[in-house]
Amino acid sequence: MKTRQLGNSDLQITAIGYGAWAIGGAGWEAAWGAQDDGEAIAAIQAAVDAGINWIDTAAVYGLGHSEVLVAKALKGRGKRPYIFTKSSKLWDKDRNVISSMKSIRKEIEDSLGRLQTDVIDLYQIHWPNPDDEIEEGWAAMAKLKEEGKVRWIGVSNFNVAQMERAAKIAPITSLQPPYSLVDRKVEAEILPYCEAHNIGVINYSPMGAGLLTGAMTLERARTLPADDWRSRSENFREPRLLRHIQLVSILTAIGEKHGRTPGEVAIAWTLRMPVVTAAIVGARSAKQVAGIIGAMDFRLSADEIEEIETFCKANP
């Protein structure tokens, strides 16, 4: 299986990693709705069995539950994938999510316990909030690396100015930004900055949170349950929704020529740029893993990229 080096680290990662956001289940503000734990564990195991060598989770996903499921899925397995997780999103007794970088040392211990491991391969600040705590938070992250609690440290959802502030304290191994055909904001400044400073990029939601999989219809989007955060997203409402579904028809046609799903085409589109080290791809069942694993080694031709770009320019 081909791998790529992640930024300034010694981590050699596959082109896609397993994203454990959605499997956290319901009951918190960014949930994807109810999730069967057995199917979640089967999805993780299917991804690893298929060759994916890293899993990205976070303490806040399911308010700790995602990390617990990752540990259960990997228990007793010989060769373990790299484990990436995140700090700075806490929750209170009423399950309200709080942003803070003042308790990172406690957070790492909690995550190590839930994940049942002695060291985290990549530990990331989840969001740069509160902004005035970035220096304090990043200094704590650097200390954890020095102590061997984590192997490498990265950031998620940071802009260029915020990365520059952190880099004055300690090198940044990676950035985790949203990047897909329905969210291209990082192309202007953030991706060029990462390329110039050898910061690895592992983009999340390469399929637009499910919009580009081919499974999202107008009717399904209109009837998403209230405990699914996507029901409150403008991308899942008209007029944007109609545009995205039209885009999927193009991805579907391209995929059919190669025996690939539209989701795999969408993932491959994000991987067309060398600055993008790898993509984080979620799956809530083993069946969904089968629909995305082909993106591991599928790459678009220049003509296919141009066809997609032509649609995007005509339908911004």
The CATH number covering residue 72 comes to 3.20.20.100
pLDDT digits (tens, 9 = 90+) for 89-140: 999 988 999 999 999 999 999 999 999 999 999 999 999 999 999 999 999 9
Whether 166 is in a domain gets the answer yes
Q: Domain for residue 260, yes or no?
A: no
* Residue 189: predicted pLDDT: 98
As for how many domains the chain has, the answer is 1
pTM as predicted: 0.92
* Residue 245 belongs to a domain: no
Q: State both tokens at 102.
A: 């003042």
Predicted confidence at residue 114, as pLDDT, reads: 98
Q: Exactly one of 61, 82, 123, 204 is catalytic; name it.
A: 61
- pLDDT confidence of 219, banded at 50, 70, 90? confident
Span 49-56, average pLDDT: 97
Known active-site residue 82: no
State the Cα torsion 52-58-182-179 to the nearest 10°.
-70
Is residue 216 scored above 80 in pLDDT? no
**Beta-bridge partner residues of 276:** 201
Range(s) of the domain holding residue 40: 3-211+266-301
pLDDT score of 42? 97
Residue 255 included in any domain: no
Q: Report if residue 249 sits inside a domain.
A: no
**To which H or E segment does residue 146 belong?**
helix 134-147
**Residue 217 falls inside a structural domain:** no
Q: Is residue 248 part of a domain?
A: no
Query: What pLDDT, in 10s, does the model give residues 86-102?
Result: 999 999 988 999 999 99
**Taking the CB of residue 139, how many other CB atoms lie within 10 A of it?**
15
The answer to whether residue 233 sits within a structural domain is no
